[in-house]
């Protein structure tokens, strides 16, 4: 059966470097306790053995919580841990090649930064797209310049594909992002770097609803 992204409000991405010394497994557990239904593992520089063991543990946690588990870049780890999906960037494998590695039933997401890239992602058969970075962000290395809310407006107006708004989104601006039509948003540092992850998620949700 084809897997799909759940209807939810927040898309959680793990980042060990911002997690105040807590493991990705611990942070994932706190996210799940607060009701996060999508978690992405995005670690570029850790040893593959560490990545594999963390993803195995987080797969177990997400399965128990009924949440979707996405892995960034590593199709082999997706298959080995039976993750729900793979997320790739513009400079990674083309969508059809990535699909051939993970199979037709898993979720395949693609980061996009322009109307042309969104159009191409839909044409290529991505299951969802990342829309951003909307604002300046230091969370991701080699990130492109902010694309602004105009690109978000384009996606909302033009496509029906599921999408996650990402890049520089904070508690202070998430209301504006939601007002432009983003129902699913990703905040990294404000969640993984919070003293109390559950309280931070509750505050973000309140801000989003306002």
What does the pLDDT look like over 73-108, one tens digit per residue? 999 999 999 999 999 999 999 999 999 999 999 999
What pLDDT band is residue 131 in, cutting at 50, 70 and 90?
Answer: very high
Average pLDDT, stretch 184-206?
98
Residue 2 covered by a domain: no
Beta strands in the chain, from DSSP E residues, in sequence order:
12-14, 38-41, 68-72, 85-88, 107-112, 128-131, 163-165
Does the pLDDT of residue 64 top 90, yes or no? yes
What is the rounded distance in angstroms from the CA atom of residue 188 to the CA atom of residue 169?
A: 8
Q: Which residues are catalytic?
A: 42, 111, 140
Q: What is the pLDDT of residue 88?
A: 98
Q: What is the pLDDT of residue 141?
A: 64
Residue 32 covered by a domain: yes
Average pLDDT, stretch 167-178?
97
Does the pLDDT of residue 142 top 70, yes or no? no
Residue 1 covered by a domain: no
Does the pLDDT of residue 139 top 80, yes or no? no
What pLDDT band is residue 154 in, cutting at 50, 70 and 90?
Answer: very high
Residue 52 covered by a domain: yes
Average confidence score pLDDT of the chain: 96
pTM: 0.96
Count of domains forming the chain: 1
CATH code for the domain of 204:
3.20.20.70
DSSP run (H or E) holding 158: helix 148-158
Does the pLDDT of residue 14 top 90, yes or no? yes
DSSP run (H or E) holding 188: none
Q: How far from the centroid of its chain's Cα atoms is residue 185's Cα?
A: 8
Q: Find, among 76, 95, 103, the residue nearest to 3 by Cα.
A: 103
Residue 43 covered by a domain: yes
For the chain, the first-to-last Cα distance in angstroms comes to 37
What is the number of alpha carbons within 13 Å of residue 185 lying toward its C-beta?
Answer: 28
What is the rounded distance in angstroms from the CA atom of residue 52 to the CA atom of residue 154?
A: 37
DSSP run (H or E) holding 190: helix 189-192
Residue 7 covered by a domain: no
Average pLDDT, stretch 100-118?
98
Q: What is the pLDDT of residue 28?
A: 98
Residue 6 covered by a domain: no
Give me the domain span that covers residue 178.
12-209
Residue 3 covered by a domain: no
């Amino acid at each position: 059966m084809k897997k799909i992204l759940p209807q939810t409000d927040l898309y959680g991405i793990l980042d060990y470097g911002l997690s105040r010394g807590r493991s990705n497994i611990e942070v994932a557990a706190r996210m799940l306790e607060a009701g996060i239904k999508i978690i992405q593992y995005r670690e570029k520089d850790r040893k593959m053995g560490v990545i594999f063991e963390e993803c195995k543990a987080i797969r177990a946690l997400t399965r128990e919580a009924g949440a979707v588990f996405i892995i960034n870049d590593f199709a082999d780890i997706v298959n080995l841990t039976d993750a729900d999906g793979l997320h790739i960037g513009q400079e990674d494998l083309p969508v059809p090649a990535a699909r051939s590695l993970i199979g037709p039933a898993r979720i395949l997401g693609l980061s996009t930064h322009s109307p042309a890239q969104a159009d191409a992602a839909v044409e290529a058969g991505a299951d969802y797209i990342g829309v951003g970075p909307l604002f300046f962000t230091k969370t991701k290395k080699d990130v492109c310049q902010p694309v602004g809310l105009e690109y978000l407006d384009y996606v909302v107006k033009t496509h029906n594909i599921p999408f996650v708004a990402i890049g520089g989104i904070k508690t202070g601006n998430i209301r504006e992002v939601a007002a432009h039509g983003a129902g699913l948003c990703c905040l990294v540092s404000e969640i993984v770097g919070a003293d109390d992850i559950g309280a931070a998620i509750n505050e973000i949700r309140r801000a989003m609803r306002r």
